[in-house]
Structure 1
């Protein structure tokens, strides 16, 4: 099976050049002009279009059991929607119940994901601690290709990891060469504010952002970053939504700490006025954590992305339909948290980033694929257009215009947080593992064609950090100890 993408402009995180791309056996075989390719190769005319690495969404939740229900999107429908938008790989989350062995949960998620139509990997959440968790983390890194572990600092009484768990898990991650990732919200403060706000009579979706102000996110982000600093381990902060978290990340990076930040497409363009919509269902559809913020925070997040203090873009794709959201009628704390976006992330970021002059095309590639591939150690297999890389590509039409709507999207949800937004720039053709899976507005996929992508650990980086820590550690003082008589 071979494919020639001809006549386009190749855009990577490093360069832009006129080149054809030849793919064979699921990999990129050659990049250049006037390529000598075998007869019979399928040809895609990319004239007037850009050829970029397929997107990587490093934060999705397909088929997630959460808050008394299960997300409406499974791995098959979710990865298909991703392909329609130009995203060719996702990193989802295994989230064990408290006291559930990590390996048991991992096997369950692997089974669910076997029907994926695009490539996928997993972060694994640490929601509790004992010796078995310590052992399972080792098995996941060594045998299963997991190099990142998630920690929820929110959701008290469910999956919240207290500081003791963070410390133990961060230490173990450092030993294994794995990356701790954190959902930063102070769970104790959120719970307290939820009770106070309900007592004041706020029971609808408008109570959600009131109970999760920017300060509770900023405090948790700073705390997690400082714990990582003391232990000497890199850290990745997911869905940064406010100035306070960004400031904590920026300060730590300026101090030389290895901290990475992720921002959601939704947090860049949707503001908190949505929670005051007069229609309950519409307002509830936007309930996610952290919540959407004011335009002031949006402006800061764009600057964070432009400055490089935020490196990746994601969606936190976690779909709940209207009937599921209504579980929280009369009590906003029971509205399942989550919104969609895996299909629209690339177009929204191109339109509001590149078209608005906030990003160059190469910076767009970095933020939508290459940086995630580098941070999670699958570059240049993913996120690059170079011989030997996976043939995951998107032929991007920068002039194509469409209006985003739940009526036309492929996501398995009855609402779209970008509803009515007209964007210029979209995926004309998506190629996954060398196969054309999206073309002319139509998907051509088969159940289970997606591959599980193992991600090696970060031994060289972590060895360097260990050497640095050894160089900066103080020398013990040799002093005389007092005797009992003294």
Structure 2
């Protein structure tokens, strides 16, 4: 099937130019002015609109078993909601238990994802260390296209790993040419503060933020970056929410270390006041980790995106409905952590980034698509408008208005953290795999149409760790 996007202005990370885009058999086959539409082709009107690479959300959790329940969003509903907002691919997470097989868990998640309506890939979490984990990291990387491994420095007693696991796993990732990624919060400190707050009678959602102050994120980010430097591997820090963590990344990058930082759309516009709302259910609906922060942290995050010190934006899309959140009514540590956002990320970033003057349209493309594709080695297949790239495209109306609400969103959750926010910038049409899957408010997502995208590792290289350089110099 052929599809012609006519009359729009192409925006990529490198350029802006008015041109038509012709797609056939799921890829972009021609770009240029006044292209002819083949017989039977679908013609998409992009007049007065931008034609951009479809968004890639590098951090989602569809149907995740977590904290005694399962996220309400499955791979079909979540990816369909993403298509409605201009996101055409996700990178989700395989999370085995500490004694479980990462490879077995990967196959379980692959089975869950067969219903996806958009393309998907997986990071695989390393939650314990053994010879089996060492071997299975190799199998995942070399046979299944997994080039990133996740490490949780939080959630003591569940999936938190210690420095020994980080050192072993980072070294193995380096051997494979894979990217270690890190949830940076000092889990021991969080656990201590949780116990102290509960003992003091602070049991409501406000305790969640108090138990995870900015310092615990800053310390963990510094530690992860230091371990990566010792090993000689790049590292990717997920959901950076504080000026301390952003500064740690900037300092490391200034020395030439390969450190990447991800920001959630939610952390850019929502602050910690939500935890003091008079309705405990409202406050609980905002419980996620890291929590929402004081407003001044938002300035550091925007500055990091504008300067290039922070590279990607995500949502950590992990939805739990009100009855699930109510499990922590009398103990904030039992509130399932997570909020939604996959449908709204692009609009929120356009409105508060591009329309406000913080970002250019090309920077918007970089942080919503291209940088993720490059960091995780699927560019230019993804994240680009180029001949030969996948036909994952959003026709973006930068002047259209919409009001975000749970009553109108496509996400399978009864709450929206952006509720009532009026944003300028919406997906007019979304094309995924060359098919028109969202057009002028009509969602046409097809269950099971999404493909698993293998992400090849980079060429393995094992440079001498910085610690050995110091020893040699000392000798």
Distance apart, 1:37 and its partner CA: 4.3
Post-superposition offset of 1:377: 0.3
Aligned counterparts, 1:67-106, within 5 A: 67-106=67-106
Q: Measure how far apart 1:474 and its partner are.
A: 5.0
Alpha-carbon distance in structure 2 between the residues aligned to 1:446 and 1:394: 17
Displacement of 1:38 in angstroms is: 2.3
Shift of 1:469: 6.6
In the alignment, which residue of structure 1 is the partner of 2:379? 379
Residue 334 of structure 1 deviates from its aligned partner by 0.3
The CA deviation string for residues 217-273 of structure 1, in whole angstroms up to 9 with x for no partner, is 000000000000000000000000001101110110011100000000000000000
Instruction: Show the counterpart of 2:463.
Output: 466
Q: CA deviation at 1:445?
A: 2.0
Q: Which residue of 2 aligns with 1:190?
A: 190
Within 2, Cα distance between the matches of 1:106 and 1:437? Answer: 28
Q: CA deviation at 1:472?
A: 4.8
Larger radius of gyration: 1
Tell me what 1:162 maps to: 162
Superposed displacement of residue 477, structure 1: 8.3
1:367 is matched with which residue?
Answer: 367
CA distance in 2, matches of 1:366, 1:401: 23
Whether the 8 Å contact between 2:37 and 2:43 is mirrored in structure 1 is: no
1:196/1:54 CA distance change after superposition, 3 Å: same
Residue matched to 2:333: 333
Structure 1 CA distance, aligned partners of 2:65 and 2:468?
Answer: 46
Return the offset for 1:36.
Answer: 3.9
Q: Any residues of structure 2 matched to 1:39-438 within 5 Å, and which? A: 39-438=39-438
**2:231/2:465 contact within 8 Å kept:** no
Deviation, 1:443, is 0.9
Q: Distance in 2 between matches of 1:321 and 1:468?
A: 46
Aligned CA distance change for structure 1 residues 164 and 345 (closer, same or farther; 3 Å): same
Question: Secondary structure of the residue that 1:466 maps to in structure 2?
Answer: coil
Using the alignment, how far apart are the partners of 1:470 and 1:160 within structure 2? Answer: 26
Distance (Å, rounded) in 2 between the aligned partners of 1:264 and 1:65: 21
**Aligned-partner SS, 1:428:** strand
Contact 2:231 2:466 in 1 (8 A): no
The alignment's TM-score, normalised by the length of structure 1, stands at 0.96
Q: How many residues align?
A: 475
Q: What secondary structure, in the 3-state scheme, does the structure 1 residue paired with 2:463 have?
A: helix
The change in CA–CA distance for 1:370 and 1:477 in structure 2 (over 3 A counts) is closer
Length-normalised TM-score, structure 2? 0.98
- Give the RMSD, CA atoms, in angstroms: 1.4
Q: C-alpha separation between the residues in 1 aligned to 2:466 and 2:38?
A: 54
The CA distance in 2 between the partners of 1:417 and 1:80, in whole Å, is: 19
Matched residue SS, 1:114: helix
**C-alpha distance in structure 1 between counterparts of 2:472 and 2:120, whole Å:** 46
CA drift of 1:175 comes to: 0.4
- Aligned-residue offset at 1:40: 2.1
- What's the offset of the Cα at 1:466? 2.0
Q: Deviations over 1:113-134 (max 9, x none)?
A: 0000000000000000100000
Q: Deviations over 1:371-401 (max 9, x none)?
A: 0000000000000000000000000011110
Partners of 1:381 and 1:474 in 2: CA distance: 43
Partner residue of 2:33?
33
Paired with 2:2 and 2:49, the residues of 1 have a C-alpha distance of: 20
**SS of aligned partner of 1:363:** helix
Structure 2 counterpart SS, 1:449: coil
Q: Secondary structure at the match of 1:168?
A: helix
